[in-house]
A and B are shown apart, each in its own frame.
Chain A
Amino acid sequence: MKHFFFGKPESQLFGVHHRPRGIAKKPTRAVLICPPIGQEYIRTHWCLRLMANQLCRNGAHVLRMDYSGMGDSAGCLQDMRSLERWTEDLLTGIERLKELSGAGTVMLVGLRMGAMLAAQAAGRSNDVNSLVLWEPVEDGESYLKELRAMHRRMLDLWVCKMTTPNDDQVEEILGSRYSRSLIESISESKNDFSKIVQPQLIVVPKQPVVNFVHPVSGIQKVVLVDEEYNWNDLRSLETAWLRSQTAREIVGFSKQMFERLDQRKALAAPALVPDAVSDSRSDQDASPSVGVTA
């Protein structure tokens, strides 16, 4: 692992590069991990590190990074004004990963709000070959509603009567203070994965609330996993989120996606490969958690 800062000198981002050992696969495979935000970022750090190790052992260059105002990156969360800033961070991360690895295009693996940001970055970059959207946040308003409910519950059970800032400037939610404009930006955000042109793997717990559909046949694959989890349980607010089985499945699927993309020469240069996901379907029929809607 190599740790470093990158990006603009006045607002640098923190990153960790996992470089595969031995002879690199050609063409180069590269994965950018897009973490969640807020407390979910801290809780999922270890799980994403382990998954990065596994992806790396499978021959991929992996970059983990912290968004501006989070983790070890510069700035504080309260200074962030919109989701756009974090999408820009991911685009910077894509460029850095290409430089580090020599890859022409990269795969994005996004978890929770990281999946929403990954989808937005994919819509603005020609260098994203595919996406893995892990328990994605699809609707910012609903996401905020859930966080606020948990925050209110936390305050309600506090040892004494307690309030936190919530005015036209800032709002404190679960240990993070967001600017009002960022809150509005999150609230307005909505992802329509059917508009993403790159091959996409959506990983959700069984019985997802939303039925995913994509107009292009074979471009979207939905995997239903056994490891169900309630993100809004206050008792789990500070426990590490570990999903080893799902992480292993994602690593396996990503390997197959890379192989399909490689067959269609889509790794070295940007390209749309509609059947990159669906072609690998037959290999996965034995998996207990496969579901395809395309």
Chain B
Amino acid sequence: MIQINPQSNNNSSIETVCHFGPQGGLFGILTTPDDACAVKDAPIALILNAGIVHRVGPFRLHVDLARQLADAGYSTLRLDLSGLGDSAQRTGKIETPNRAELDVRDAMDYLQNETGVDRFVIIGLCSGAYNAHQVSVKDDRIVGSVFMDGIVFRTLGFFVRHKIGRLLRPRFWRNAIKRRLMGENAPGSETAGESLAEGEFFGEDLDKDDVVRDLESLMKRGVRMLFLYTDGYDDICGRSQFKEMYGLLPDEGQLQVEYYPKSEHTFRIIENRQAACGRVTSWMTGQFGS
């Protein structure tokens, strides 16, 4: 294995190339903290692809997050799911409709073998959050999950706050007129990127009751959860929608929810990206500190 010491880190972390899965065809980069600052017995975080962007993440989000977590003492594997980035496709008969479940299982098996760690935190944005949900439910080794703009359902409150509320905002009309003049989408419609995010990557047969049952089972298992939502994600408006959707009340402990009203879905603005990375890092420290 060849290692790397990123200059950008305050602490000296190490990055290692990892191959795992069938014929070693899956690929990821493991970022580990310097021994001096490593948190003892901490779980390893896995960051899944967002859409079809390779493992570095949108605007390099995953690299920033992995290195920040390493500075805080946590190891992270940012991986390419099969058929994405630099990972090979899975061939042959696949026992589940969601190959991400197999890929993440292979990644955890590999890490468990190599490091002895058998507890994991899974992190995903958009389709990555959807996959993180599916995997978290099925594998007891997962003790924490970070869902960034993950599964949501529109509620009555959403329509009031989003659909009606924004009509009262002068900036909405200003932007809508500008977009129309520029020949872009009609007012209120999604941009090409946003419509892709939902339609292409999420299962279409999601049932809210099933998701609620999944979340309750994760709660019972003691899985620590952090839900991050942005205003740029078109189906959610405000932190209060979480309770409306799932009937669960967020707290400052096992079930934490954050809403960023000024952020776009993929954290295009660095200030927003830093806020999200900082939030995930402080959550890790709070939930899995030494």
* Interface residues in chain A, defined as those with a beta carbon under 8 Å from any beta carbon in chain B: 1, 3-6, 9-12, 14, 16, 39, 42, 45-46, 49, 69-72, 74-77, 79, 154, 156-162, 164-165, 172, 174-177, 235-240
Contact = CB atoms under 8 A, between A and B. Distances in A.
A237 B265 CA distance: 13
Chain B interface extent, by class: 35 or more
Nearest to B18: A3
B271 A5 contact: no
Interface stretch (B47-55, B106-114, B140-148, B217-225): B47-55
A231 to B, nearest CB: 16
Contacts of B7: 10-11, 74-76, 79
B272 to A, nearest CB: 9
Interface string B1-24: 011111110000001010100000
B179 A175 contact: no
Contact of A235 (B3, B63, B184): B184
27 contacts: A5-B4, A12-B5, A14-B4, A46-B52, A69-B8, A74-B8, A75-B6, A75-B8, A76-B64, A79-B8, A157-B178, A157-B179, A158-B262, A159-B175, A159-B232, A160-B262, A165-B270, A172-B269, A174-B268, A175-B59, A175-B269, A175-B270, A175-B273, A177-B270, A235-B192, A238-B266, A240-B52
B58 A4 contact: no
Contacts of A154: 268
B5 A4 contact: no
A165 B171 CA distance: 22
A239 B58 CA distance: 11
Nearest to A7: B4
B86 A70 contact: no
A277 B268 CA distance: 42
B132 interface: no
Given A4-B17, A10-B7, A235-B193, A42 B269 contact: no
Interface of B: 2-8, 15, 17, 19, 27, 29, 52-56, 58-60, 63-64, 85-86, 171, 175, 178-179, 184, 191-193, 196, 231-232, 261-262, 264, 266, 268-271, 273
B41 to A, nearest CB: 28
DSSP majority for the A interface? Answer: loop
Contacts of B17: 3-5
Contacts of A156: 178
A14 B16 CA distance: 10
B270 A172 contact: yes
A183 B59 CA distance: 18
A239 B270 contact: no
B192 A45 contact: no
Given A14-B29, A72-B15, 5 more contacts: A74-B15, A159-B264, A175-B268, A175-B270, A237-B193
A177 B171 CA distance: 27
A113 to B, nearest CB: 16
Contacts of A174: 268
A39 B273 CA distance: 15
A239 B196 contact: yes
B5 A162 contact: no
B60 A238 contact: no
A239 B200 CA distance: 13
B172 to A, nearest CB: 8
A221 B112 CA distance: 54
A42 B58 contact: yes
Contacts of B2: 4-6, 12
Contacts of B86: 1, 3, 16, 49
Contact of B59 (A12, A39, A74, A161): A39
A89 to B, nearest CB: 13
A203 B204 CA distance: 41
Contacts of A10: 5, 7
Given A46-B54, A160-B171, A239-B193, A176 B6 contact: no
